Structure 1
């Protein structure tokens, strides 16, 4: 029984340390890449809404998301998911919506414009 308690304590300690390291890792990526300065607030809100709620992202904001880059996009979403306010959200759903938003924006940015 004592071994089970020690094992449980080690698992909790490991998970707590891993979460703290992950947050620091995302913060470091965000800082090193100046992620928080690459998009205007209106576009940040559009991207957030398209990923964490139900909404769309405009062509203009897709352009800003593309300039933000995949590394920043991913780190910002993952850091947001670690916030206790978003604890009840489905991780799989949010990751799928993050990928979908990114792919849709890239398709829009790099699609050939119709000739006029």
Structure 2
């Protein structure tokens, strides 16, 4: 029984350290790339709504999102998922919506119809 308790404690310690490292890594990526200053608040809200709720993102905000860059986009979404306020959300669903939003915006920005 003592071995099981030690094993459980090690697993908890590992998971805690991994979560702390992930948070530090995301914060470092966000800071190094000045991610928090690259989008205007209205577009941040649109992007947030399209990923964490049910909403759409405008062409203008898609442009800002793509200019933000995939590394920043991913880091900001991951950091938001680490916030206890969002603990009830499914990370798999949010990551899928993050990828979908990114791909839709990228396709829209690359579309020849947008510049016509």
TM-score normalised per structure 2 = 0.97
Q: Runs in 1 of length 4+ with deviation above 4 angstroms?
A: none
Q: Deviations over 1:10-40 (max 9, x none)?
A: 0000100110110000000000000000000
In structure 2, the CA distance between the partners of 1:115 and 1:93, relative to structure 1 (3 Å rule), is closer
State how far apart, in whole Å, the 2-side matches of 1:41 and 1:108 are. 21
The structure with the greater share of residues assigned to helix is 2
State how far apart, in whole Å, the 1-side matches of 2:38 and 2:85 are. 24
User: Which runs of 5 or more structure 2 residues have no equivalent in the other structure?
Assistant: none
CA RMSD across the alignment:
1.2
Q: Deviations over 1:56-113 (max 9, x none)?
A: 0000000000000000000000000000000000111101100000000000000112
Q: Deviations over 1:42-64 (max 9, x none)?
A: 00000000000000000000000
State how far apart, in whole Å, the 2-side matches of 1:112 and 1:86 are. 37
TM-score normalised per structure 1 = 0.97
Q: What is the aligned length?
A: 116
State how far apart, in whole Å, the 1-side matches of 2:81 and 2:25 are. 14
User: Which runs of 5 or more structure 1 residues have no equivalent in the other structure?
Assistant: none
In structure 2, the CA distance between the partners of 1:73 and 1:115, relative to structure 1 (3 Å rule), is closer
In structure 2, the CA distance between the partners of 1:114 and 1:14, relative to structure 1 (3 Å rule), is closer
